[in-house]
Chain A
Amino acid sequence: MPMKMESDLNRFRKIIKGKVKKELRKFISNGDLIGRQGKKQVTIPLPRIDIPKFQFGTDQQGGVGQGEGEPGDEVSQGQPQPGEGEGEAGDQEGQHTLEVDVTLEELAQILGEELELPNIENKGKKNVEDKHYKYTGILRQGPESLKHFRRTYKEALKRSISLGTYDPNDPVIVPIKEDKRYRSYKVINEPIANAVILYMMDVSGSMGDEQKEVVRLTSFWLDTWLRTQYQGIERRYIIHDATAREVDEDTFYRTKESGGTLISSAYKLAVKMIEENFNPSEWNIYLFHFSDGDNWSGNDTADCMKLLESTLMPVSNAFCYGQVESRYGSGQFLRDLHKHFGESHEQLITSQIKDRDAIVDALKTFLGKGK
């Protein structure tokens, strides 16, 4: 990075961060960001930040072009970019919003600053790294197995055209050594996960789409934060009604189940998964459970408490329970938890998420303890 630009660039990033921060609560509750999310960064639509000037309204206006076609024909490919008229001093962008890329780390940092989240103390396990290879460039030397056919062909074609040996009627191209191009790779170290989040969600009949959306938004932000706290992180998903099963992320948010609710079924599955895959002495384990709190029977609730007390709580960093409010109101389970463990249990964090606007508070409750 050139030296002089660095401070201007930092200033610009700071302005962006400020804007994101200002709009963060809106982003958290409206879910705009999800789906704009790449592997390492999120594209955030921001209200314009470059300098406004008196300028022509360029939306949906015509101009002069060049090419084939009769009046009435559509201007094919390369849609005119509104605002890119001729002879303008600068290039004006015709967009109303600016899309900026913010890395997930930055986003988490903003979240952390805004919600005043403490950093999490790692349970003291070492980070392990893994290697993999990525093709990043082209070289003139390399093993035949990595030969880039298209590039090689192009070079050979160019050479034979300039040498005059190319015959369009008999287009035979024979690459020589100098034409050959090879893929080159980089070794990338990737940390191996040492933290796991187990998401459990109640998908019984009383959980509607809106409730699931609330869960989805909450877990996106939980992910974002926890990911910055650990070198790598693994996520597992469990859905349950009267029975529980493990699903992938997509299914987790989309499933429409119905039927009764036996919360213990999910807890039992969680116990089993932890036993099989995640040795508590090596893993930071986070358990999140979202439900509307309408458990089928008191007996089952008692089972749940037993499972939590004996197994789940001791092995996990935190057990977080978020109770969303469904059309039928809020259930009993939250109160049962409090009755059993007391309001301020070390390992138990609960939050009531009435609607989207309450997500911010839920995040703060869940992550505020620095577990």
Chain B
Amino acid sequence: MLVDTRLSPELQELADSLAEKAREAGLDFFETIFEMIDYNQLAEIAAYGGFPTRYPHWRFGMEYERIAKSYTYGLSIIYEMVINTDPCYAYLLRANSMVFQKTVIAHVYGHCDFFKNNYWFSKTNRKMLDQMANHASIVKRLIEDIGHDEVEDFIDSVLSLENLIDINAPFEQKIPQEAGDEIAKRRLQVPKMEAKKYMDSYVNPKDFLEDQRKIQQDKYNQFEKFPAEPARDVLSFLLEFGPLEQWQREIVRIIRNEAYYFAPQGQTKIINEGWATYWHSNMMTKIAPLNDSEIIDYCDHYAGVVATSPGQLNPYKLGVELLKHVKHRWDRGQFGLDYIHCDDPKERASWDKQLGLGDEKLMEVRKFHNDITFIDEFLDEDFCHNTKMFLYDYDPRTNRYIISSRDFNAIKQSLLRQLTNFGQPIISVVDGNYKNRGELLLHHQHDGMDLKHEFTLEVLRNLYKVWGRPVHIETLVEDVKRKVSFDGSNHQVEKI
């Protein structure tokens, strides 16, 4: 059953004219193809992370059921879905009213612009649709060759390690292999005694030098750490050094590849949603204003998008407000030494040099920032105060969540910590030959939050399936250094 997913001529015309206006206003995006689908299809695509073709796996089914159910119960609804590819694909919900479609289309252009121009997306594969389809066919072939249960089981294990990647890796320049070898060679050089050329073979006999070199080499092998530097990209380490069969290697490669593709989205949730929201509101109210009969519905919708419940931060709201804050400041010239050193709140509030640099600054922000740097740079005390941010904590005595502080520094610290490493714990391989027995030692860089213990145990079990030898992780549990291990049959937790 094929249903036409093209936009109606009316909507297509609208999309085109919105695109034109958005480009005039300074947005720059790939060609965007819209598809009109019903909620079931949207739920399906959302469950697949935006891609209609993914490799078969049950968790997509679980996700689909969750999304479809929360729609049925009216808990949440997805209006649109955009994927970061060139051309950009965007899915619209057939049931949306005309006003919604307009808003959503404008929102989509905001995302597309962000995908294309933001530095953190610059290394992502813009032909990911094809790659995902390739992954799917590889996994399907493996399932036929190896067996469904075995492949699925292995995928489960590797997915459990999916977040152990190094988000900075795509941006690092690798030392070329030869240069690395050169460094190693130099380290292995045996110092020679000084001697005249004709005496050299007597003062520094060849056999002796060779022996020395061997001793050095042994020492080197013994003491050289493996890996030399802690490896943040655990998946890559496993790919390189894990005792994997060819088909297993393919699966690790696929999952790692997809994890890197999705990582920038996790790094830019606030700023990306903020950007899209900023632009859809800009377009609907200023650049391509809605008519009178639509504006109430639009406002109703917008209120929902930036709604906040006291215990939660809404990334749309935070993002769009912070962007507006930036525009406000740069329009008025509220930056630079003079402004920073100005202590008079009255003067600060009325500070206006009428520079009108806001729009320019925003374009710069969308180009260079991810959530962390965005918040680190622009979330200031005024903003924190004006948007009524607070810190809350769990009070075990009353079993309730209470507001614990409105201190700017504490709030900002907490926010930044939540965003560090896209919200995932920082974990690296520190020893691939632990105890000289080929065991694997991971290290968790503890920054105040413990790992969830029962998950840690499960992940170690999965890691063991991939590494094939006992695995360990060093972490802090309630402020005490501990090592959690799994040796294939038992877990062990010991103090270190």
Residues on A close to B: CB < 8 A?
1-2, 4-5, 7-15, 49-81, 84-90, 96, 101, 158, 161-164
Contact = CB atoms under 8 A, between A and B. Distances in A.
A87 B418 contact: yes
Interface string B444-458: 100001111111101
A86 B459 CA distance: 23
A52 B452 CA distance: 10
A76 B389 CA distance: 14
Given A12-B58, A85-B423, A76 B310 contact: yes
Interface centre among B296, B311, B401 (most CB of A within 10 A): B311
B64 A66 contact: no
Interface in B411-425: 411, 414-415, 418-419, 422-425
Nearest to B265: A89
Contacts of A89: 163, 262-263, 265-266, 422-424
Contact of A52 (B314, B401, B423, B459): B459
Nearest to A72: B402
A100 to B, nearest CB: 9
Contact of A11 (B61, B263, B310, B450): B61
Contacts of B47: 5
11 contacts: A11-B57, A13-B61, A51-B59, A71-B403, A81-B311, A81-B312, A87-B269, A88-B269, A89-B163, A89-B263, A162-B293
B371 interface: yes
Contacts of A86: 269-270, 313, 315, 318, 371, 415, 418-419, 423
B192 interface: no
Given A57-B452, A75-B402, A63 B414 contact: yes
Contacts of B44: 2, 4-5
A279 B80 CA distance: 58
Interface centre among B44, B160, B262, B312 (most CB of A within 10 A): B312
B409 interface: no
Interface residues of B, number: 88
B168 interface: no
Contact of A53 (B62, B402, B405, B455): B455
Interface of B: 40-41, 44, 47-48, 52-53, 56-62, 64-65, 69, 152, 156, 159-164, 262-263, 265-267, 269-270, 292-297, 308-315, 317-318, 371, 387-394, 396, 400-406, 411, 414-415, 418-419, 422-425, 427, 444, 449-456, 458-459, 462, 473
A71 B450 CA distance: 25
Given A64-B391, A161-B296, A162-B294, 16 more contacts: A53-B163, A54-B451, A54-B455, A55-B451, A63-B311, A66-B313, A66-B389, A67-B310, A69-B403, A75-B402, A80-B401, A87-B269, A89-B424, A96-B454, A162-B293, A163-B292
A87 B419 contact: yes
Contact of A77 (B310, B400, B452): B310
A50 B414 CA distance: 28
A4 B64 CA distance: 11
Contacts of A57: 449-453
Interface centre among B403, B453, B462 (most CB of A within 10 A): B403
A72 B402 CA distance: 6
Interface centre among A67, A68, A86, A163 (most CB of B within 10 A): A86
A53 B160 contact: yes
Contact of B61 (A5, A73, A158, A162): A5
A89 B411 CA distance: 21
A249 to B, nearest CB: 27
A92 B453 CA distance: 15
B452 A11 contact: no
Contacts of A13: 61
Contacts of B270: 86-87
B311 A54 contact: no
Contacts of A9: 61, 64-65
A53 B459 contact: yes
Given A58-B452, A65-B312, A89-B422, A8 B293 contact: no
A55 B422 CA distance: 11
Contacts of B313: 63-66, 86
Given A65-B311, A70-B403, A50 B59 contact: yes
Given A57-B452, A80-B392, A87 B401 contact: no
Contacts of A65: 310-313, 389-392, 403
A88 B451 CA distance: 15
A165 to B, nearest CB: 12
B423 A51 contact: no
Interface centre among A15, A75, A81, A88 (most CB of B within 10 A): A75
Nearest to B1: A3
Contacts of A88: 266, 269, 422-424
A139 to B, nearest CB: 15
Nearest to A5: B44
B451 A64 contact: no
Contacts of A81: 311-312
A77 B163 contact: no
B419 to A, nearest CB: 5
Contacts of A71: 390, 402-406
Nearest to B299: A161
Nearest to A15: B58
A162 B297 CA distance: 9
Contact of B452 (A55, A73, A75, A161): A55
A55 B64 contact: no
Contact of A60 (B60, B296, B394): B394
A257 B352 CA distance: 84
B318 to A, nearest CB: 8
Nearest to A1: B40
Nearest to B463: A54
B421 to A, nearest CB: 10
A75 B390 CA distance: 10
A54 B295 CA distance: 46
